Copies of this chain bind each other. A is one copy, B any other.
Amino acid sequence: MEHNLENTIALLDRTPAALDALLRGLPDEWTMRNEGEGTWSAFDVVGHLIHGERTDWIPRAKRILEFRDTRPFEPFDRWGHMRECEGKSLGQLLDEFAEVRTQNLATLRAMNLTQDQLASPGRHPALGAVTLSNLLATWAAHDLTHLHQISRVMAHQYRESVGPWSNFMGVMQCAGHSA
């Protein structure tokens, strides 16, 4: 489908509650384990989503509206969630994610973006030319790539337990890891 801002907002609006319903109170064996050294647990992913809310989507949208493509975005710190997560419980991170997402969606709605504004060019430090529309669609798809990752990381914990069924389940064969 063409990018549709209302559809983007509808998805962004639901992710915190979906992650909350899936993860809150779940045993640590599901939420705190990763796929091996240098990989993320579900807990880490929620921290990463919070870090994106603070430093990525809305700040970059504002930069496009103010400077178009004359000033590239600040690079995103893929390990910035380490600071977001420090000393916090998963429940606290889920609360925080819901809170910053709500604030950011209020900011986005208040921008009252026109089709012309959505077509505005921006500059990504690595990817080059993008539009505000690309950025906002990516915000939604980024939620999905991390829901995809969380499902995979959690399924990985049962790789041995499922016995011969592992061959039948796509999630056990997934190589769609984000760069």
A22 within 8 Å of B (CB atoms):
yes
A128 CB to nearest chain B CB (Å): 7
Are A134 and B161 in contact (CB-based, < 8 A)? yes
Copy count, this protein chain: 2
Q: Are A27 and B10 in contact (CB under 8 A)?
A: yes
Give the CA-CA distance A138 to B169 in the complex, in Å.
9
Residue picked from A10, A33, A128, A171, most chain B C-beta under 10 Å: A171
User: Which residues on A are within 8 Å of B, measured CB to CB?
Assistant: 1-4, 6-7, 10-11, 14-15, 17-23, 25-27, 29-30, 33, 124, 127-131, 133-134, 137-138, 140-142, 144-145, 147-149, 151-152, 154-155, 157-158, 160-165, 167-179
